[in-house]
């Protein structure tokens, strides 16, 4: 699926109360973030956040974490939350290959809904450019 690059994605991410900036600090302590002992569900590759936001709205007694690698997609997801007050939702902008560093045994369910399973050739240039910037 094609998507637009969000020009101010970095600002959106930095100013969001939903974004967890250093998830490795919370390994084994995610219930402290949510301030409850409700089950925690994780979506890997959440994209624009439609699924995870919808689930958080429908199930307020379940905590949700959406993980997405792409900053523009993550910013779009945060924008899609809008003015909704979702105390049961947190967002991580990071590589899913590192989830072992972020989570212990506290995740009850993992959703994989259309995430990209591998890097594409065209992404190599983008990754190299992001390292330079």
- Token pair, residue 130, equals 């992001």
Q: What digits encode the pLDDT tens for the residues 79-124? A: 999 889 999 999 999 999 899 999 999 999 999 977 665 556 665 5
**Which of 44-58, 65-79, 93-107, 118-132 has the least mean pLDDT?**
118-132
Q: Where are the beta strands (DSSP E) in 1-132?
A: 40-44, 63-68, 89-93, 107-112
pTM of the model: 0.83
Question: What is the CATH T-level fold of the domain 9-132, as seen in this structure?
Answer: Rossmann fold (3.40.50)
Collapse the DSSP code of 27 into the 3-class scheme (helix H, G, I; strand E, B; otherwise coil) and give the result.
Answer: coil
Task: Characterize 87-113 residue by residue with b for buried, 16 or more Cβ atoms within 10 angstroms of its Cβ, and e for exposed.
Answer: ebbbbbbbebeebeebbeebbeeebee
Query: What does the alpha-carbon distance between residue 84 and residue 130 come to, in Å, rounded to a whole number?
Result: 31
């Amino acid at each position: 699926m094609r998507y637009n690059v969000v020009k101010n994605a970095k600002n959106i991410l930095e100013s969001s109360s939903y974004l967890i900036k250093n998830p490795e600090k919370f390994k084994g302590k995610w219930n402290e973030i949510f301030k409850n002992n409700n089950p925690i569900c994780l979506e890997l590759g959440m994209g624009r956040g439609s699924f995870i936001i919808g689930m958080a709205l429908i199930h307020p007694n379940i905590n949700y974490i959406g993980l997405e690698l792409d900053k523009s997609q993550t910013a779009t997801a945060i924008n899609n939350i809008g003015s909704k007050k979702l105390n049961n939702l947190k967002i991580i902008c990071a590589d899913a290959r590192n989830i072992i560093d972020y989570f212990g045994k506290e995740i009850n369910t993992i959703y994989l809904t259309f995430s990209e399973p591998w890097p594409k050739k065209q992404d190599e240039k983008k990754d190299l450019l992001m390292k330079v910037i």
